[in-house]
């Protein structure tokens, strides 16, 4: 009962076709972290209760701790490792870094991906829409505020606007 034969599937991870063999009861979270070595995807409960394991499955943010690895055959998965391109940070990564939206950084990959999916669907979200879209991700460090600001700033930049952080967010009042 301690081992069972592995199964092999093909999927696309961060744009790369990938073949991977793993024990069939493994979740996508475990496959990514343990079989593909992509440890950027984190976990805080493995029960769907925190959002820390968020990845994009065919572009939709899902909880990788509740997706069976086997169910991902032929699908595309995007993790935080796929966000920076050619050594250049994604605009969301840039603003998260600049504003301190990542404190311990443990929840950050999940927030980044959830935010990326939001901006893909809604390039100019209001603060309320951001709160709604991120309501499935817990962060114990930031109080979310720097995260909202980072998403707003990145959104503006991704729309091609020249946007800078507000002085209040960086220096207080």
Partner 1 sequence: MLRLPFFTYLEPKSLADALRMKADAGPDAMFVAGGTDLYPNMKRRHQEPKTVISLMGIPELRRVESTTLGACLTLSELTARPPDRLTAAVSTAARLVSTPLLRNMGTLGGNLCLDTRCNYYNQTYEWRKSIDFCMKKDGHICWVAPSSPRCWAVSSSDVAPVMVAIGAEYRLLGPQGERVVPAGRFYHNDGINYLTKQPDEILVDVRIPKPNGWDAVYHKLRRRGSFDFPVLGVAVWIQWNRKTVADARIVLGGVASYPQEVPEAGTALRGGALSDESIAAAAEEAYRPSKPMDNTDFDLSWRKQMTRVYVSRALQQLRDRRTTPGLDV
Partner 2 sequence: MADKRRVIGKALRKVDAAAKVTGATKFADDLAFPRMLFCKLLRSTQPHARIVSIDTSAAAKLDGVQAVLVGQDLPIPFGILPVSQDEHALCIDKARFIGDPVAAVAALTEEAATAATDLIRVDYEPLKSIASAEEAVEHPEPRIHDYGDRGNFHKLIDLEFGDANAGIAEGDMVREDLFFFEGSTHLPMEQHAAVAMWSPDQKLTLWTSTQTPHYVHRALAKVLELPAARIRVIATPNGGGFGGKSDPFNHEIAVAKLAMITGRPVKITLTREEVFYCHRGRHPTLMWVRTGVKKDGAITGMHFRSLLDGGAYGSYGVASTYYTGALQTVTYHIPCYHFQGARAFTNKAPCGPKRGHGTPQPRFALEVHIDKIAEQLGIDPAELRLKTLVPANSLTANYLRVGSMGLGKCIAKVVEGSGWKQKFRKLPRGRGVGLACSSYISGAGLPIYWNNMPHSGVQLKCDRGGGVTVFCGSTEIGQGSDSILAYIVAEVLGIDPFDIAVVTGDTDLTPVDLGSYSSRVTLMSGNAALQAAERARQILAVHAAKKLEIPVDRLSFAERRVYDAKDPKRGMSFAEAVQSAEAAEGTIGTVGSYTPPMSAGKYRGAGVGPSPAYSYSACVAAVDVDPETGIVRVPTIWIAHDVGRSINSAAVIGQVEGSIYMGLGEALMEEMAYRGNRNVVHKIPSLLEYKSPTTLEMCDVITYLVEDPDPNGPFGAKEVGQGPLLPVMPAVANAVYDAVGVRIDEVPITPEKVLKALRKKQKGEPGRHGPESFPDIPWPEPMRVPTPWEGGDGKAVSPGRPAITAERPH
Write out the residues near ligand FAD by the rule CB under 6 A.
48-49
Beta bridge partners of residue 61, listed in sequence order: 56
Least Å from the CB of residue 41 to ligand FAD: 18
Shortest Cβ 113–ligand FAD spacing (Å): 18
Q: Which of 32, 11, 7 is nearest to 21 (CA)?
A: 7
Burial class for 165, CB neighbours closer than 10 Å (0-12, 13-18, 19+): middle
What 3-state class would DSSP assign to 22? strand
Q: Does 109 bind partner 1 (CB under 8 A)?
A: no
* 65 counts as binding ligand FES under rule CB under 6 A: yes
Q: What angle do CA 108, 81, 160 make, to 5 degrees?
A: 75
Q: Torsions phi, psi of 60, nearest 5?
A: -100, 135
| CA–CA–CA angle 114, 115, 116 (5° rounding) | 90
Rounded to whole angstroms, the maximal C-alpha distance in the chain is: 61
Report 3-42 residues binding ligand FES (CB under 6 A). Answer: none
User: By CB under 6 A, how many residues form the interface with ligand FES?
Assistant: 23
Residue 137 near partner 1 by CB under 8 A: yes
Report CA torsion sign: 88, 90, 92, 93: negative
The answer to the question of residue 108 lying near partner 2 (CB under 8 A) is yes
Which residue number, 46 or 129, has a Cβ lying nearer to ligand FAD?
A: 46
In the complex, minimum distance from the CB of residue 127 to partner 1, in angstroms, rounded to a whole number:
15
- Residue 104 contacts ligand FES per CB under 6 A: yes
Cβ proximity to partner 1, 57 vs 101, nearer residue: 57
Q: Residues in the site for partner 2, rule: CB under 8 A?
A: 1-3, 33-34, 37-47, 49-50, 52, 79-81, 83-84, 89, 92-94, 96-100, 102-109, 112, 130-132, 134-146, 148, 165, 168-173
């Amino acid at each position: 009962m301690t081992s069972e034969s592995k199964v092999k599937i093909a999927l696309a991870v961060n744009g790369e076709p990938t073949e991977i063999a793993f024990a069939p009861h493994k979740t996508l979270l475990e496959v990514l972290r343990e079989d593909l070595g992509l440890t950027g995807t984190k976990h805080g409960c493995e029960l769907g209760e925190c959002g820390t394991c968020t990845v994009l499955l065919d572009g939709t943010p899902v909880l990788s701790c509740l997706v069976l690895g086997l169910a991902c055959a032929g699908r595309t998965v995007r993790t935080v490792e796929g966000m920076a391109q050619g050594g250049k940070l994604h605009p969301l990564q840039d603003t998260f870094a600049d504003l301190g939206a990542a404190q311990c950084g443990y929840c950050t990959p999940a927030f980044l991906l959830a935010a990326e999916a939001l901006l893909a669907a809604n390039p100019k979200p209001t603060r309320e829409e951001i709160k709604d879209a991120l309501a499935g991700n817990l962060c114990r460090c930031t109080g979310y505020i720097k995260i909202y600001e980072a998403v707003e700033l990145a959104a503006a930049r991704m729309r091609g606007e020249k946007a800078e952080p507000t002085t209040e967010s960086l220096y207080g009042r």
